[in-house]
A and B are shown apart, each in its own frame.
Chain A
């Protein structure tokens, strides 16, 4: 309903009200537009800032979108803030319409388009059209000089959590075979898979990790099949990087094997086998951007952080996590919190035997080279 309403306003653009708003916008003051839109909507007369959040899937998917929506829900509680949301927006010109209508009709001046594919060209095009609006994108590679200054990207080093997941998996696994279910072999996914195995190998260097690529972000039947066929092959701990880990975690529980969550907390789905999970904590980022927008501080174009910065966090440890595992994970986490833990150390080989990081040259988490990872480390059974 909402989507239709908004699209009409933008596409047709003939209703006098939309025209008036566009005129005000054109006159140059986004603030007036915001207050006008707020005033005409009636209920939000005091809103100082309107924030728009756009999701590619449903907000309650136990996964990627839910993690973003939780932060948006927390924002709603902040005084003087109005949050407009739209879910299930495909990575097509649809998202341009969604952004335009949030800006023109709702008066949003800070947008969070949260899906990877929104960045180029959709968000960049809208950023040119609305230079006073701040666009904070999740996961893209914002580059100085190449992309407009009112756009930016935020992301978190969630591979730190996957490394900790790996430590727990390494302790829990009896067969020394762990598994990773990936949607697509893109750098962020490969980095997680590699960190998961490296964590497990810090417990026992003989552990191998089976990778299964399903081919898309949300394919429940195929994800369930992947869990089943790995369980058949003796894999006894599984994690994943798909949009909604719900099916993976549930199927693992049904098969009686361990699982580590991703994106959000899935412990309720697998009370027996859930070890822990890598969760986003986007509120940290959202709050930062909101504060900047309210105070008029310059927009932070490139925002990154890990455990230390509070961008990511671990689910509470599950029942199956033993004392030794807990100790090692906590010790590693403490080093990560200090900011001097290196996951990708020098002399690292990929699974074809090639050295991918030169000996003695470990890559710190903030190194942008890691954001273009295109290999699987030694011990991962799979192919990019």
Chain B
């Protein structure tokens, strides 16, 4: 503890990145699948909160947090499929449906979640990966959730699957050119609906991390826009699952920058540091989006780039 300053901030930001990034990671991986198929689901914020509520509720009722995670994924899957099915209708705008779904998910989760605000549900365990160190800060920073590791594995798996499996190829064809996919005999709407459902599943699991691990309880103010930021993050990551992982870490670290700096006594400008994740979102949007060129790696059927 002879140097509590920058080393402390570094450890805190690293720990924060590991703690805070998981919801970003799951939501962005989910959105990555959905967008690869050529649709955008802006409703992930609502799905995230719905997942948080469902996960907490089921964990409380069953006493098993992993069942809660599954329930959260299930709730997300249903909402994702809902988005997919509605968007299959003629001339329905996926962005508008997404906004509707976001509001519906939030409201419905608050409505159903009332009885679960007070009780305490069992939390997910965490793995003490910092046990090798005698520094309590490092031990605390490396208390890693298994969900984080699952997310990492999933990012690698998805990156491989997009490139090397038949399913990945079909998904990309549908996302890049619906006409080509139809010509090849693939059912475009079905693929997109399933992709949106899968994206919803992952977003729901991301929500269960919020309520079952960190911060670890259900309340109506649980999400502060993580679901929306994750959508921006996918664009930043150029629809690449491994980049989604890095971006999620970056956003997690940015979220913990404000508290970490204040805790070592750097007290001026905390409004700016607290706003770091949002500033980062804006900066990414400004640097990556231009009306004059399409984004490298963007699925061709995506309504924002078409």
Residues of A near any B CB (own CB < 8 A): 57-58, 60-62, 88, 179, 210-215, 218-226, 228-235, 243-244, 246-247, 250-251, 254-255, 268-269, 381-383
Q: Is the CB of B258 within 8 A of A215?
A: yes
CA distance A210 to B16 in the complex (A): 19
Q: Tell me whether A381 and B271 are in contact in the complex, defined as CB-CB below 8 angstroms, given that A220-B215, A247-B217 are known contacts.
A: no
Shortest A234–chain B CB gap in Å is 7
Q: Is the CB of A229 within 8 A of B271?
A: no
User: Chain A contacts of B268 at CB under 8 A?
Assistant: 383
Shortest A287–chain B CB gap in Å is 25
Counting from the closest, the 9 A-B pairs by CB-CB distance are A218-B221, A383-B267, A229-B263, A224-B215, A226-B259, A215-B274, A229-B12, A212-B262, A225-B259
Q: Is the CB of A229 within 8 A of B256?
A: yes
Q: Tell me whether A233 and B224 are in contact in the complex, defined as CB-CB below 8 angstroms, given that A215-B258, A228-B19, A250-B215 are known contacts.
A: no
User: Chain B contacts of A214 at CB under 8 A?
Assistant: 258-259, 274
Q: Can you give 7 A-B contacts (C-beta < 8 A)?
A: A58-B110, A215-B258, A226-B259, A226-B263, A228-B12, A246-B219, A247-B217
Q: Tell me whether A211 and B262 are in contact in the complex, defined as CB-CB below 8 angstroms, given that A225-B16, A228-B16, A232-B12 are known contacts.
A: yes
Q: Is the CB of A229 within 8 A of B259?
A: yes
Of the residues A60, A62, A223, A255, contact of B114 by C-beta under 8 Å: A60
Let me know if B140 is at the binding interface, CB within 8 A. yes
Let me know if B222 is at the binding interface, CB within 8 A. yes
Q: Is the CB of B262 within 8 A of A232?
A: no
Q: Is the CB of B224 within 8 A of A221?
A: yes
Which chain A residue has the least Cβ–Cβ distance from B136?
A232
Q: Is the CB of A228 within 8 A of B140?
A: yes
Q: Is the CB of A255 within 8 A of B140?
A: yes
CA distance A381 to B267 in the complex (A): 8
Q: A58-B219, A219-B221, A232-B8 are in contact. List 12 more A-B contacts (CB 8 A).
A: A213-B262, A215-B275, A222-B259, A225-B258, A225-B259, A229-B16, A229-B260, A229-B263, A247-B215, A247-B216, A250-B215, A382-B267
CA distance A224 to B217 in the complex (A): 11
Shortest A175–chain B CB gap in Å is 10
Find residues 213-249 in chain B having any chain A CB closer than 8 Å to their own CB.
Answer: 214-217, 219-222, 224, 226
Bitwise, B249-279 to A at CB < 8 A (1) or not (0) is 0000001101110111101101100110000
Shortest A66–chain B CB gap in Å is 9
User: Chain A contacts of B141 at CB under 8 A?
Assistant: 232
CA distance A62 to B116 in the complex (A): 12
User: Chain B contacts of A57 at CB under 8 A?
Assistant: 220-221
Q: Is the CB of A232 within 8 A of B219?
A: no
CA distance A380 to B215 in the complex (A): 26
Q: Is the CB of A225 within 8 A of B220?
A: no
Of the residues A88, A222, A233, contact of B274 by C-beta under 8 Å: A222
CA distance A294 to B183 in the complex (A): 78
CA distance A224 to B219 in the complex (A): 13
Q: Is the interface of B mostly helix, strand, loop or mixed?
A: helix
Most buried by A among B110, B215, B220, B260: B215
CA distance A211 to B217 in the complex (A): 24
Residues of B near any A CB (own CB < 8 A): 1, 4, 8, 11-12, 15-16, 19-20, 110, 114, 117-118, 120, 136-137, 140-141, 210, 214-217, 219-222, 224, 226, 255-256, 258-260, 262-265, 267-268, 270-271, 274-275
Which chain B residue has the least Cβ–Cβ distance from A210?
B263
User: Chain A contacts of B264 at CB under 8 A?
Assistant: 233
Q: Is the CB of A215 within 8 A of B271?
A: yes
Which chain B residue has the least Cβ–Cβ distance from A380?
B267
Q: Is the CB of A381 within 8 A of B12?
A: no
User: Chain B contacts of A247 at CB under 8 A?
Assistant: 215-217, 219
CA distance A367 to B117 in the complex (A): 38
Shortest B33–chain A CB gap in Å is 25
Q: Is the CB of A225 within 8 A of B255?
A: yes
User: Chain B contacts of A268 at CB under 8 A?
Assistant: 120
User: Chain A contacts of B226 at CB under 8 A?
Assistant: 221
Q: Is the CB of A222 within 8 A of B117?
A: no
Shortest A236–chain B CB gap in Å is 11
Shortest A215–chain B CB gap in Å is 4
User: Chain B contacts of A212 at CB under 8 A?
Assistant: 259, 262-263, 270
CA distance A221 to B48 in the complex (A): 14
Q: Is the CB of A225 within 8 A of B20?
A: yes
Q: Is the CB of B265 within 8 A of A381?
A: yes
Q: Tell me whether A221 and B12 are in contact in the complex, defined as CB-CB below 8 angstroms, given that A234-B1, A251-B215 are known contacts.
A: no
User: Chain B contacts of A244 at CB under 8 A?
Assistant: 219, 221
Q: Is the CB of B219 within 8 A of A221?
A: no
Which chain B residue has the least Cβ–Cβ distance from A230?
B263
Of the residues A211, A233, A251, A254, contact of B267 by C-beta under 8 Å: A211
User: Chain A contacts of B221 at CB under 8 A?
Assistant: 57, 218-220, 243-244
CA distance A84 to B260 in the complex (A): 43
Of the residues B12, B120, B222, contact of A269 by C-beta under 8 Å: B120
Q: Is the CB of B263 within 8 A of A61?
A: no
CA distance A224 to B213 in the complex (A): 11
Most buried by B among A215, A231, A232, A382: A232
Which chain A residue has the least Cβ–Cβ distance from B120?
A269
Shortest A181–chain B CB gap in Å is 9
CA distance A179 to B264 in the complex (A): 12
Shortest B88–chain A CB gap in Å is 30
CA distance A57 to B220 in the complex (A): 8
Q: Is the CB of A250 within 8 A of B12?
A: no
Shortest A331–chain B CB gap in Å is 33
Of the residues B114, B217, B256, B270, contact of A215 by C-beta under 8 Å: B270
User: Chain B contacts of A218 at CB under 8 A?
Assistant: 219, 221
